Amino acid sequence: MVIFDCDGVLVDSEPIFLRVLHRFLLFAGASLSHADCCRQFIGKSKADVEIYLEEQGLAIPADWPDAFYDQAMIELGRDCKAVDGIREVLQALAQSGIPFCAASNGLRDKIEFTLSHTGLLPLFENRIFSAYEVGRSKPAPDVFLHAASLHGIAPERCTVIEDSPSGLEAAQAAGMPCFAYSDTDALPPGRLFGAQPFSAMWQLPALLGL
């Protein structure tokens, strides 16, 4: 089975979330650049943002996270697109009879919204897993292990496609081989957690042996 992260792997939503998050953090009194925000929070959860604010001695705004998610959903609806080449990868998996699913740190509503907006949702019917529903978020392996368990597939027979250090660490902790997707330099070798990097989705079918 192939397990896909959602943001940044299936849908090009990560830059949208990060730019909204950066504005929110500046409003809360943080002083960090957009580049630093991207490096620190790619693939991270709501709890990680709250920990950061507490460590910086900043108050967590009373309307967090509702105001953030409301604005993020507006901008996702306007700007979100499927990652180039991912539709062809999913079609190749389906034609080969290889099961696949989505497993994300995001809220289920957000995952379904972005997949629906990009036309990918029908390919993931009943095969979407949110870390919010299993306890611990990535870098804990819970959501990956939960997805494998429900499909009756051993972790070592699953392959994870990720784009963030926290997701790569989760795959390693789950005992699952992993490919690290990044079309930038956001994933230096020291943050790959043993994953094999690739830079374009057209490369993935060959990496998966399709």
Q: Please report, for the domain that includes residue 170, its CATH number.
A: 3.40.50.1000
- Better pLDDT: 39 or 102: 102
DSSP-assigned states of every residue in 17-81: HHHHHHHHHHHTT----HHHHHHHHTT--HHHHHHHHHHTT-PPPTTTTHHHHHHHHHHHHHH--
- 91 and 137 share one domain: yes
Last residue of a domain, one of 34, 59, 79: 79
- 96 and 147 share one domain: yes
Last residue of a domain, one of 38, 58, 79: 79
- 18 and 6 share one domain: no
Query: How far apart are alpha carbons 193 and 14 in whole angstroms?
Result: 20
Taking residues 84-101, what's their average pLDDT?
A: 97
- 94 and 150 share one domain: yes
Residue 63: what pLDDT?
84
Query: How far apart are alpha carbons 7 and 111 in whole angstroms?
Result: 8
Instruction: Report pLDDT digits (tens) over 37-65.
Output: 988 888 778 888 999 999 999 988 888 88
- 87 and 110 share one domain: yes
User: Which residues contact residue 151 at a Cβ distance below 8 angstroms, ignoring those fewer than 6 apart?
Assistant: 1, 99, 101
- 72 and 153 share one domain: no
Q: Residue 183 pLDDT > 90, yes or no? A: no
- 99 and 203 share one domain: yes
- 89 and 104 share one domain: yes
Domain limits for position 23? 14-79
Q: Please report, for the domain that includes residue 62, its CATH number.
A: 1.10.150.240
- pTM (two decimals): 0.87
- 100 and 8 share one domain: yes
Residue 186: what pLDDT?
65
- 194 and 109 share one domain: yes
Please count the structural domains in the chain. Answer: 2
Banded pLDDT at 182 (limits 50, 70, 90):
confident
Last residue of a domain, one of 79, 102, 129: 79
- 130 and 26 share one domain: no
Taking residues 123-130, what's their average pLDDT?
A: 95
